[in-house]
Amino acid sequence: MAKKVPTEADKKMEELVSLCRRRGFIFQSSLIYGGINSCWDYGPLGVELKNNIKRFWWKSMTQDRDDIEGLDASIIMHPRVWEASGHVAGFHDPLVDCKQCKHRFRADEVNSPACPDCGGELTEPRQFNLMFKTFVGPVEEEAALVYLRPETAQGIYVNFLNVLGPSRQKIPFGIAQIGKAFRNEITPGNFVFRMREFEQMEMQYFVRPGTDEQWFDYWKEQRMQWYLNLGIRKEKLRIHEHTHKELAHYARKALDIEYEFPFGWKELEGVHNRTDFDLSRHQEYSSKDLTYFDQELNQHYVPYIIETSAGVDRTLLTCLIDAYEVENPGKKEERTVLRLSPKIAPIKAAILPLVNRDGMPDVAKKIADELRPHLKIFYDDGGSIGRRYRRQDEAGTPFGITVDSQTLQDETVTLRERDSMSQIRVKISELKDALLKRIAI
């Protein structure tokens, strides 16, 4: 087999990776040392975008509704947790090596008997556990083997009673968590789509057995709507319901919310009916009573769990890909624009003096100072106004405020909208409210 020719999809990803590096969204980790495979660092714009996505999720889960509590459990947990969860025994991927070119693949991702890269012969599949190990305690020979959590969900299950008591919730209710997880993936890749160190947004919803199917359907709708609220294009989203064969051992029903990436339809989020598997296992392994007393039914039971499990990095990548557009490519009017929703855009408004004279920079700086406590803004007086607009378009900044000669006469500025490039005049005194209304966080 010949070496792969870059496809249109590869080119689109390359363009996006290049934009991310150039504009300070995402860098390869430890780049001055040649990088470290599949770890990425978020730069100034990337960290704002990531924080905004996390806040948007957190608010939708823990503030806008009253039946979900937040949690932030530690990455290092008691090793028994991973025995109970099944990860020690079963969190393996089958791995094959090419005897010729030595490339390594996940056996389940290779569709041919021979190496996809060179056509060489492959080894028999071997099983590898995906959990990272480390040792707690300073003296190595006495130290305890622990794992970096491969998912945040277990932190929620072991804290079920800890949260239930103080929050005074009643079933049905949920626990939401955002945090890092680690998987020693055999084939990480596609930029930040699959990383060894990544961040999850997981919510576990505890329900009465028998009501689990209706709650599964409810969360399917809710989660799909969330991506639409985030500004993702509807036609790029779809639902893939797992067949019986695809179902994980703990799941009665499962679906993926998928997005059409340049490299194909891929999972963005999983919604799972996990039954009473998780709490039953932890009850068994900890010998602690994890049942819930349902006052209406006057009986104890182990709650069923509907899980919604999303990736922060993956959502961010989706937002970037979905928002990225090159208008009039190759022409004089070529424009690269990130059509990010104002809700999650890293910078909300750029403040620009039209020219660097006649006191325009002073007025613009004053406006910037007034807006800064309320919004993430950026003051820029370097280069032509057209070039400054283009820089902001590429950074996804939804609004540009320009101070021009008319400003000096009537205290109005132009408010330029990134997507349409239309401009209106707004009084400086009404600018803050005009922006906050349009951003509507």
Q: Which of residues 356-415 bind a second copy (CB under 8 A)?
A: 368, 372-373, 375-376, 378-379, 382
Residue 405 burial (CB count, 10 A): 10
Q: Which lies closer to a second copy via its Cβ, residue 168 or residue 331?
A: 168
263 is a contact residue toward a second copy (CB under 8 A) = no
Q: Cα dihedral angle (18, 35, 54, 21), rounded to 10 degrees?
A: -20
Number of residues that bind a second copy (CB under 8 A): 89
170 is a contact residue toward a second copy (CB under 8 A) = no
90 is a contact residue toward a second copy (CB under 8 A) = no
Q: Which lies closer to a second copy via its Cβ, residue 59 or residue 427?
A: 59
436 is a contact residue toward a second copy (CB under 8 A) = no
Residue 219 burial (CB count, 10 A): 20
Residues 188-207 interacting with a second copy (rule: CB under 8 A): 196-197
Q: What does the block give as tokens for 144?
A: 């305890």
Work out which of 15, 88, 184, 426 binds a second copy, going by CB under 8 A: 184
Q: Given CA atoms 107, 109, 112, 118 in this order, what sign does their dihedral have? A: negative
Residue type at 144?
A
Contact predicate 308/205, CB 8 Å? yes
CA distances to 118, 150, 217, 256 from 130, rounded to whole Å, are 26, 8, 31, 21
Residues 134-153 interacting with a second copy (rule: CB under 8 A): 134-139, 146, 148
Contact predicate 267/353, CB 8 Å? no
**Distance of closest approach, residue 47 Cβ to a second copy, in angstroms:** 4
Contact predicate 23/338, CB 8 Å? no
Work out which of 12, 17, 24, 103 binds a second copy, going by CB under 8 A: 24
218 is a contact residue toward a second copy (CB under 8 A) = no
Work out which of 2, 8, 74, 245 binds a second copy, going by CB under 8 A: 74
Residues 274-313 interacting with a second copy (rule: CB under 8 A): 282, 285-286, 288, 290
Interaction mask 102-141, a second copy, x per CB under 8 A: --x-----------------------x-x-xxxxxxxx--
Q: Which lies closer to a second copy via its Cβ, residue 8 or residue 64?
A: 64
**Distance of closest approach, residue 409 Cβ to a second copy, in angstroms:** 27
101 is a contact residue toward a second copy (CB under 8 A) = no
Q: Which lies closer to a second copy via its Cβ, residue 131 or residue 224?
A: 131
Work out which of 13, 93, 268, 275 binds a second copy, going by CB under 8 A: 93
**Distance of closest approach, residue 9 Cβ to a second copy, in angstroms:** 25
Task: Tokens 């032509």: give the residue.
Answer: 384
142 burial via Cβ count (<10 Å: 0-12, 13-18, 19+) = exposed
Work out which of 17, 77, 118, 426 binds a second copy, going by CB under 8 A: 77
d(CA 259, CA 265): 5
- Max Cα–Cα distance, the chain, nearest Å: 78
**Distance of closest approach, residue 32 Cβ to a second copy, in angstroms:** 4
Supply the DSSP symbol for 393: H
d(CA 174, CA 151): 17
Contact segment (CB under 8 A) with a second copy among 76-84, 249-257, 264-272, 301-309 equals: 76-84
Contact predicate 256/134, CB 8 Å? no
Contact predicate 258/265, CB 8 Å? yes
Residues 33-72 interacting with a second copy (rule: CB under 8 A): 33-37, 39-48, 50-51, 58, 62-66, 69-72
d(CA 293, CA 298): 7
Q: Are strands 126-129 and 104-106 parallel, antiparallel or unpaired?
A: unpaired
Q: Which lies closer to a second copy via its Cβ, residue 49 or residue 207?
A: 49
Work out which of 155, 311, 353, 398 binds a second copy, going by CB under 8 A: 155
Q: Which lies closer to a second copy via its Cβ, residue 185 or residue 213?
A: 185
DSSP SS3 for 155: helix
Beta bridge mates, 336: 326
Contact predicate 269/74, CB 8 Å? no
Work out which of 12, 15, 17, 29 binds a second copy, going by CB under 8 A: 29
d(CA 214, CA 221): 11
Residues 324-353 interacting with a second copy (rule: CB under 8 A): none
